[in-house]
Structure 1
Amino acid sequence: MTTEAAALLISAVSLLLAGLSLGWQIAQWLLSAGRPKAVLMHGVWQGAGAYVGPVTADRSPLDLNTLRRQGIDGLEVVGIRVTNHGRAPVSVEWVAVHCRGGTMVFVPEADRLGPGLPYRLEAGTNTSWYVDVDRATRLASSSREVLREPVTGVYMTAQLGTGKTIETSGTLRT
């Protein structure tokens, strides 16, 4: 092997290592922030806790008859579970119920079930906030009847301290 070929090989390996190092630094920077994700929940609030499950892709509510037959009687709720998948804490400032296909929004203050807001969500943790499903149903109904909007259901959002808003991908049919 000539010295020119050896120098070219060393240069190529150095360039590859520099590219990998840059990629690793970018990945570390992106992963070091908070990365919140939201899931729409539906179920029953009883006493100090909730019996809930995620809203399915077909938008159907959780079958509450099974819970009620087992003596779990309480307030029917819709909620948002926020999970921080990142490495830094995230601040949740407020949560809201929105109409899918409409413009009306309900921001619960006194009627919200869950921890007080603003709430600091540490890395690798989650928490939930719930609202009486009757309020969400009335919101969707008002949007349909008063504003004549084609509302298909409700979803929830969480406003973060950074100004970013995350929303649930699911929609609860109302």
Structure 2
Amino acid sequence: MAVLSRFINKLREKGLAFFKLLKKVDKFEWDDETSKELEQLKAFLTTPPVMTAPADQETLYLYISATTHVVSTVLVVEREDPGYAHMVQQPVYYVSEVLNDSKIRYTQVQKLLYAVLFSSKKLRHYFQVHKICMLKYVLQIYYKVTNNGAKYKALIHVLRIDVSLRIKRILAYSDSKVVIE
């Protein structure tokens, strides 16, 4: 899995249950959560995204993600693609790391900064040759909402922030089709 994580976005997060199993030396239990993650991992591995080689001096975009246990970054390139009205982003390289016990205690901002630091070290060759933009951001809402009204209000709040930051393109994901559509 360590070798595959260089090429697959958030593999360490997808395989977190397996990493936890490997750390348990005295007790090995295969439970429903592990079986479910294995099935999801199998489904994901059968349809991997295709990596793209950047052209010389092409601008790359760095996306940063930090969860409780994993930090990940992905370098992408924007290119025109026939059939699409806007530029299409294609992945160049993924990097992720499972955080150890001390790094789990980092604040969210520290985790994001750490992701930039380790990405700049691992992907030094890209950072030296290409212009890297980190203008985009990911905002996660960390409270659970139980109805569509609360989700709708949260989405409106995030959209107001996006407008004030002059964000040009927004991708919103939710488990509620009513809120997103």
Structure 2-normalised TM-score?
A: 0.26
Question: Normalized against structure 1, the TM-score is what?
Answer: 0.27
Asked which structure has the greater CA Rg, the reply is: 1
In terms of fraction of residues, the more strand-rich structure is 1
